[in-house]
Chain A
Amino acid sequence: MSSTPGLDVLHWRIMRNVDHPEAALGPNREIREAARCVQCGKCSSGCPVAFESVHTPRQVMRFLQWGWAQEAATSPFVWLCAECQACTVRCPRGIDVAETMLALRRLARRKSWVRPDHFHEALEAMISKKGRVEELRLGVMAALSKWPRHPLEDLLLFVKMLRRGRLK
């Protein structure tokens, strides 16, 4: 995914809902669950990547409470979520926060607010067409598509894995 897909919309200073045509949240249950969130911040507190991007998971839930589905779905946080479930397991309102992030990814894809990059397209194709993931190919594509790169380190690891028979 593009590394900063939501950056443009982050420049708004004033919260206005008139400018946002996506005010309706739609039928997605996870997105509607956000209404029950009390903004306690426990999700952010336990999240390993909460402070690695501009938004915390709680802030994303807040966007949903305002009905700003696009801001939420294109927030860099949504693509940074590691699905570790630490948030879900601690939410006092019983909201499946991790699933909400995934639901937002799905929404973004459905509405074409983001486009998957080559790596993810290839991964999905591999899963649906081949039914198995070939890690060798995947690893190579990842190495080529990711940023930043450590070519020497990657090459060394590649060789080590190959020698240990862990790449097919």
Chain B
Amino acid sequence: MEKVVPKIGIFVRDPGGRMAASLDLPGMLKRLGKAKNVTRVCLLADLAGNASLSSVAEGIRNGEYDRVLWVGRFNTEQQKAVEGYLEGFGLNKYLHMWCDIEEQGALNQKVASEVREKKALRLIQMALARTRLLEPLAPLEIPAVDAAMVVGGGIAGLQTALSLVELGKKVHLVEKESGVGGKVAALHRFYPRLCDPLCGLQFVVDRLRASDRIHFHTLSQVVSIDGGPGRFQVRISRRPRFVDLQRCNACGECVEACPVEIPRTPEYGAFGSWAPLEGAPRKAIGPACPMSFPTAFVVQREHCAPGCKECEIACPAGAVNLEETATHEDVEVGAIFVTTGWDPYPLSRVEEFGYGLYPRVLSNLEMERLLGGDLPPLDEVGFIQCVGSRDERHLHYCSTVCCSATLKQIRFLKDRMPHVRCYVFYQDIRSPGFQEELYQEVKALEGVIFVRGTPSTVRPDGDSGRLMVRAEDTLSGKEIRLALDLLVLAGGMVPSRGTEELAQVLNLPRNRWGFFEAHLQCHPEESQRTGIYVGGCSREPMNVSQSIDSAHRAAMEGLAFLSGTVLVSPTYPLVDKTKCDKCKRCMEECPFAAFHFDREGFPEPDLAKCRQCGNCVGICPLAAVSLRHMTIKQIAAQVQEAAASFLPEGEPQVLAFLCQNDAYHAARAAVEQGLPVPPNVIFVKVPCAGYVNNALIADALAFGIDGVLIAGCQDGQCHYVTGNQLVRKRSDDLSDKLQKMMIERDRVRFVNLEIRDSVGYVELTRSFVEELMAMGPNPFKL
């Protein structure tokens, strides 16, 4: 490819003459006109109306210049309008450079005019340096499949599926159990309207069944994933149902014929999932669990008597096939929605309460099922809150729903048994928002006593089966000793086993509690893997209405990858294969795991996964990675220009790399607020502090810049998760480099700034400048 010699047109716009008032504008324009590759310099009168713009367009049309540098203050709308207009004349949008010298303090009249002039020129030269290296770019369209996969068929999964199906997308719903419904199917009632969860579930299921776009994969799990957003290739493994989904009409003949009764376990019912505590015995063949949808029955083969074929014989529809084997299926989807839900925390670990030791100590989930069936005779029932939750020995967090769940259970218990006395042992009652009403209502019920104090041990009351509970009533300081007929432990939520398994398969990061990590507030349902969304309790403990909200939101966010094509901005990373030595650092450090190996073993970003933060650029020890439109060569050229002196002798020159999300705004605000920003600082805006490659810093110092500042977001606030921290990590490599160059380590500084911290920006630049003055000039200074 022949090398393109750039031809640059510089257009300066100075409404109100602000620049002219502070600088020798004509002189500057003359000097610029002599700069390399500059073919035109012009002071524009006004951009309103097409008069000026058409003169710019003229130059493009006749080939006078093939790229434009704009100097002055332009807001986003103006930039877009200009770019759009000139595109019509053949100027690619990425061949514009916008240089605002005012935001760098070049018009500050408190600074000596000589410095101002030189600085302004320097800034424009920097912009020119980058303009020379610009390339025309166009957004990419990656073909995408408009099918989605939802993993987990509980309420959140069902709602996500429904939201997508109603928008015309095809959905593959993958569920581990034989039926959908998840934990909600095990509840007796849920708040706020205290409806039967089966009603809510049935409502969603009916609407799903009516659609031909949904495909249910029950008894299935995701085993592997390949590809990227827009075209994930997912392999699903399916355990055999032994019953034909088409043929079975749930008549029940097989159940009658089946000779095997499965013993019930209190937590999970016969099929390793939720089933009523009481009722008809479960056989080896029976309806799906937890909810009998799909309607076809399922056989629990491990419970079958050897050689028995009674159900197969009895079935009038010939739907039973005991020889069925496991299968797998490969599907292609544009986005994946993870709604794998929660599991109850194993309460036997909270040993002091005797769960698992004494039959009358139940978990809140077991209480749900008890309330749904026949109640034993009860007089005194205790509820202990926060069992396992908010406890450093178990779960450090609050499980959100347990207080309201207990209140709801008491309401129902009192409805059925008005005489029963209920004691709630709590630390705090958390029933936020409109659930306060539920709390007040239950509190006022007769025979309900709230004890602010947690019991420490539970002992059997002789042989009666009752339980002795002792607590301090902290509000009165008195000792409470109660004999209870039933004790309900409000246990907490932990990420389900499905969550853990899926996290491995999808390589999805989880937070320290094992829930899927989401970037809260900014992108609550988006995980750190582009195209994969997380919703419901797999993200954090929440109640049913919140799960439904979360599910719907995830569906909306994921639509971007389900519209037939994925639009990718052209400013994606490029790996220079002539330089790359395949060290894989970029692959390891990318916060979104966007890199994979290409056929030659070089790292290649998946353009749909990549979020264009530039951390790969920063981490590469050979500076072999660039972002298009912000290549490392472009920035290096800017750095070289920045080194030319514009300050009087003895004044240190500082180059700052500011993250465009926070630090840059703080710097801009400092200038706008008229704060005393030292003129010694010239800054370069970067997408993330993690973009700053050590080579750029070394260059800056080698060219004679006295100090380099890198400012990123506060820890925990970086939009790219760890960009600001990665830069600090690399400072060790940097120290070695600097030592070899015999430059003081303190000439490079890493700081955190928040978006409005203009005062902080001024303080740190001022103190940096002072320290640099004390250190003396850079030994490399010419």
Contact = CB atoms under 8 A, between A and B. Distances in A.
Interface in B492-536: none
Nearest to A44: B472
Interface in B140-197: none
- Category for how many chain A residues contact B: 20 to 34
Nearest to A87: B456
Contact of A45 (B386, B472, B477): B472
B397 to A, nearest CB: 12
A133 interface: no
Contacts of B391: 92
Contacts of A39: 427, 474
Contacts of B479: 50-51
A5 interface: no
B453 A46 contact: no
A45 B392 contact: no
B392 A46 contact: no
A93 interface: yes
A24 interface: no
A47 B471 CA distance: 10
A42 B456 contact: yes
Contacts of B435: none
Contacts of A40: 386, 427, 453-454, 474
B729 interface: no
B393 interface: yes
B455 interface: yes
Given A45-B471, A56-B472, A90 B477 contact: no
Nearest to A56: B472
Contacts of B215: none
Contacts of A94: 392-393
Contact of A42 (B392, B452, B455, B477): B455
A156 B470 CA distance: 37
Interface string B458-479: 0000000000001111100111
Dominant secondary structure at the A interface: loop
A59 B352 contact: no
Contacts of B717: none
Interface in A63-105: 86, 90, 92-94
Contact of A46 (B457, B473, B478): B457
A128 B393 CA distance: 38
Contact of B456 (A59, A86, A93): A86
A58 B352 contact: no
B390 interface: yes
A138 B452 CA distance: 43
Most B CB within 10 A of own CB, among A38, A40, A46: A40
B471 A41 contact: yes
Interface in B374-413: 386, 390-393
A43 B391 CA distance: 14
B417 to A, nearest CB: 27
A142 to B, nearest CB: 29
A42 B350 CA distance: 13
A93 B391 CA distance: 6
A38 B457 contact: no
A86 B457 CA distance: 10
Nearest to A59: B477
Interface in A12-69: 38-47, 50-51, 56, 58-59
Contacts of A42: 454-456
B399 to A, nearest CB: 13
Given A45-B454, A59-B477, A50 B393 contact: no
A42 B426 CA distance: 11
A51 B479 CA distance: 7
Nearest to A43: B456
A75 to B, nearest CB: 13
A51 B474 CA distance: 12
Nearest to B391: A92
A46 B352 contact: yes
A149 B455 CA distance: 35
A139 B454 CA distance: 39
B297 to A, nearest CB: 45
Contact of B472 (A50, A90, A93): A50
A90 B474 CA distance: 16
Contacts of A86: 456
Contacts of B452: 41
A45 B470 contact: yes
Given A50-B479, A92-B386, A45 B457 contact: yes
Output the residue of B390, B453, B472, B478 with the most chain A CB within 10 A. Answer: B472
Contacts of A59: 477
Contacts of A43: 456
* Highest count of chain B CB atoms <10 Å: which of A41, A42, A50, A51: A41
Contacts of B390: 38, 92
Nearest to A95: B392
A42 to B, nearest CB: 5
B22 to A, nearest CB: 55
Contacts of A44: 453, 456, 471-472, 474
A50 to B, nearest CB: 6
A109 B474 CA distance: 29
A50 B470 CA distance: 11
Contacts of A58: 472, 474
A50 B453 CA distance: 13
A44 B393 CA distance: 18
A113 B579 CA distance: 75
B455 A45 contact: yes
A45 B456 contact: yes
A93 B477 contact: no
Nearest to A51: B479
A51 B452 CA distance: 17
Contacts of B454: 40-42, 45
A56 B472 CA distance: 8
A130 to B, nearest CB: 39
B402 to A, nearest CB: 14
Interface in B441-460: 452-457
Contacts of B456: 42-47, 86, 90
Nearest to A39: B474
A85 to B, nearest CB: 12
Interface in A143-160: none
B398 to A, nearest CB: 11
Given A45-B455, A58-B472, A38 B427 contact: yes
A38 B474 CA distance: 11
A90 B453 contact: no
A87 B1 CA distance: 77
Contacts of A38: 390, 427
Contacts of B477: 56, 59
A39 B457 CA distance: 17
Nearest to A50: B472
Nearest to B426: A40
A46 B456 CA distance: 5
A16 B393 CA distance: 35
Interface in B331-372: 352
List the 5 closest A-B pairs by CB distance, nearest first. Answer: A46-B456, A44-B472, A45-B456, A41-B453, A92-B391
20 contacts: A38-B427, A40-B386, A40-B427, A41-B473, A42-B455, A44-B453, A44-B472, A45-B454, A45-B455, A45-B456, A45-B472, A46-B470, A47-B456, A58-B472, A58-B474, A59-B477, A86-B456, A92-B386, A92-B390, A92-B391
Interface of A: 38-47, 50-51, 56, 58-59, 86, 90, 92-94
Given A39-B427, A44-B471, A94-B392, 20 more contacts: A39-B474, A40-B386, A40-B454, A41-B454, A41-B471, A41-B473, A44-B453, A44-B474, A45-B453, A45-B454, A45-B456, A46-B456, A46-B470, A50-B479, A51-B472, A51-B479, A90-B456, A92-B391, A92-B392, A92-B393
